[in-house]
A and B are shown apart, each in its own frame.
Chain A
Amino acid sequence: GAVVSQHPSRVICKSGTSVKIECRSLDFQATTMFWYRQFPKKSLMLMATSNEGSKATYEQGVEKDKFLINHASLTLSTLTVTSAHPEDSSFYICSARLQTSGRAYNEQFFGPGTRLTVL
């Protein structure tokens, strides 16, 4: 149990285009999902917290107009990188906080990541 999927796993796009990444909790509900970014040989850095039915909370220094987050249901959050540029190239990972029977647990489960390359 507690499986999180991401789609696509890899995307290559031209500079100036927008890219949407989906994060789904497959076998549990998640009122809270998180989006991270990881550069090569580096640790994960939290970008934003995605709450179902409300606006996302962005970390300091993350442009909310650049990285649009929508959490439309208890099993789906999306991250859209708008007008992507080469510096947006990175590994993007989502996580979901387990929730069962109305109770939210603290443990987070991670998706397999999306590797974005902007040419």
Chain B
Amino acid sequence: GIQVEQSPPDLILQEGANSTLRCNFSDSVNNLQWFHQNPWGQLINLFYIPSGTKQNGRLSATTVATERYSLLYISSSQTTDSGVYFCAVAETSGSRLTFGEGTQLTVNP
């Protein structure tokens, strides 16, 4: 099956800093989603981005499907951005999502 690798596994920032999270995948995809899992376990949809670039406030994402990677940018980070960020992909042939191991982000005041 498809492999998904996220980096870095852990990231500690000071409030106000910018960061880039990376997601590499091993095959063609028809779905790529970025999620933020809050401390209560809820997965919050950040982006549905199988290709191209999107922006939503302080967050933006870019997926280069031909090179099989996606980047999530967080600007002017806030303490409320803390949590685990997951990338998940579905192979072109199906709809099943495969999750990466996540990036644990800690933003300190």
Known: A106-B30, A107-B31, A110-B35. A43 touches B99 (CB 8 A): yes
With the chains together, A42 CA to B101 CA distance in Å? 7
Query: Which residue of B31, B45, B86 contacts A109 across the interface (Cβ within 8 Å)?
Result: B45
Closest to A44 in B: B99
A115 to B30 alpha-carbon distance, docked (Å): 31
Say whether chain A's binding surface is mostly helix, strand, loop, or mixed. Answer: strand
Q: Is A91 an interface residue (CB 8 A)?
A: yes
* A106-B50 CB under 8 A given contacts A32-B95, A43-B99, A43-B102: yes
Q: Which of A39-76 contact B (CB under 8 A)?
A: 42-46, 49
Considering the complex, give the chain B residue whose CB is closest to the CB of A98.
B48
Whole-angstrom CA separation of A110 from B30 in the bound complex: 18
* Nearest CB in chain B to that of A91: its residue: B41
Please tell me if the beta carbons of A46 and B42 are within 8 angstroms of each other in the complex: no
A-B CB pair tally, cutoff 8 Å: 51
Is A97 in the interface zone, CB < 8 Å from B?
yes
Given A34-B96, A108-B33, A43 and B40 contact (CB-CB distance below 8 Å): no
Q: Name the interface size band of chain A.
A: 20 to 34
B100 CB–A CB distance under 8 Å: yes
Task: List the B side residues contacting A44 at CB < 8 Å.
Answer: 43, 86, 88, 99
Please name the residue on chain B nearest to A60 by beta carbon.
Answer: B1
**0/1 string, B63-91, CB within 8 A of A gives 1:** 00000000000000000000000101010
B11-70 interface with A by 8 A CB criterion: 30-31, 33, 35, 40-43, 45, 48, 50
Instruction: Let me know if B97 and A108 touch, CB within 8 A.
Output: yes
B35, B88, B100, B102 — most chain A CB neighbours (10 Å) = B88
* B42 and A112 within 8 A (CB): yes
A97: chain B residues within 8 A (beta carbon): 95
Residues of B within 8 A of A (CB): 30-31, 33, 35, 40-43, 45, 48, 50, 86, 88, 90, 95-102
* Further 13 A-B residue pairs, CB within 8 A, beyond A2-B45, A108-B31, A113-B42: A32-B95, A34-B97, A49-B95, A95-B43, A106-B50, A106-B90, A107-B31, A107-B45, A108-B33, A109-B45, A110-B42, A112-B41, A115-B41
